[in-house]
Copies of this chain bind each other. A is one copy, B any other.
Amino acid sequence: MNKLKKDITWKEKLHEIIYEADTKEGKLFDVILLIAIIASILLVILESVKSFDAKYHNFLNISEWIITILFSLEYILRIVSIKKPFKYIFSFYGIIDFLSTVPKYLSFILIGTHSLVALRALRLLRVFRILKLGRYIGASNNLMLALKASRAKIAVFLFFVVIVCIILGTVMYMIEGEENGFTNIPVSIYWAIVTLTTVGFGDIAPQTPLGQFIASIIMILGYSIIAIPTGIVSSEIASANAKPDLNTQSCPNCLKEKHKAKAEFCYNCGSILNP
């Protein structure tokens, strides 16, 4: 029984270190994890640079194995220390942890899966978990509230943009045709998105006068409708900020409302508020 209790304590301790950041050990664990993630990302990036990889291949490979084993250990400890392991395994971050660790082992066993190793870059997403970025955005978190409030409107806007791009892409395919680079409708839709979002790579560009005329309309459309998401987010943030610093009391004497949050006396008649 004593052993069982000790075992539970050990798991709880581990859970506290890994999943929480309130204790000294928890914070230290987060900092080490952050460094390991950044080191891991740097390794992924440097490995892809052929001239660098040629010189330091062994160093990169060994470092990568060390970090992969560390992350594997962390993954196992996360599963062990949590009460409902499957909830973690199939959570967003659980899947990311798995996807960013397994490919290295696969590349050892199966040849041809080497390119999957770059999936390790997904580890970077974990930075959001560690930093809990929300708290930097502002105490009242108005920005997040505004973004959530405008999510539905932005989705409708994007749905509209995508449909416009499909139709205009098809029209451009009919006008320009294969000989001018609009080889098929998916490529033409891709071009319409490139143009409407004002990115404009220029790898495909209309050559016929009619095509250039339609392209001009798409560009002016894209240049104008960017005002819509911006307007939505702006006004949502503004209305989220507009919560005035007033309480909901009414004066017991003159019944006036909208007193300052910290007021103890009515600004109209001087009676004591909240007797």
Q: Which A residues form the contact surface with B (CB < 8 A)?
A: 41, 44-45, 48-50, 115-116, 118-119, 121-122, 124-125, 127-128, 133, 136-138, 143, 146-147, 152-163, 166-167, 170-171, 173-174, 177, 183-190, 193-203, 205, 209, 212-213, 215-216, 219-220, 222-224, 226-239, 241, 258-260, 262-272
Cα A241 to Cα B227 in complex, Å, equals 17
- A237 contacts which chain B residues (CB < 8 A)? 231-232, 234-235
- A216 contacts which chain B residues (CB < 8 A)? 189-190, 193-194
Chain B: CB-nearest residue to A47? B185
- This chain's copy number in the assembly: 4
A49→B200 contact, CB < 8 A = no
Checking B167, B173, B186, B224 against A154 with a beta-carbon cut-off of 8 angstroms, the contacting residue is B224
B270→A265 contact, CB < 8 A = yes
Checking B128, B156, B220 against A136 with a beta-carbon cut-off of 8 angstroms, the contacting residue is B156
B187→A199 contact, CB < 8 A = no
| Most chain B beta-carbon neighbours within 10 Å: one of A48, A49, A174 | A48
- A143 contacts which chain B residues (CB < 8 A)? 153, 228, 232
Given A230-B227, A235-B237, A268-B264, also A44-B220 (CB < 8 A): no
- A267 contacts which chain B residues (CB < 8 A)? 259-260, 262-267
Cα A116 to Cα B216 in complex, Å, equals 22
- A260 contacts which chain B residues (CB < 8 A)? 258, 260, 267
List 17 A-B residue pairs with CB atoms under 8 Å apart, sorted by A's residue number: A41-B166, A48-B188, A116-B174, A118-B173, A124-B167, A133-B159, A137-B156, A190-B212, A190-B213, A194-B200, A195-B199, A197-B223, A198-B200, A199-B199, A200-B202, A226-B226, A264-B269
- A121 contacts which chain B residues (CB < 8 A)? 166-167, 170-171, 185
CB distance from A125 to the nearest CB of B (A): 7
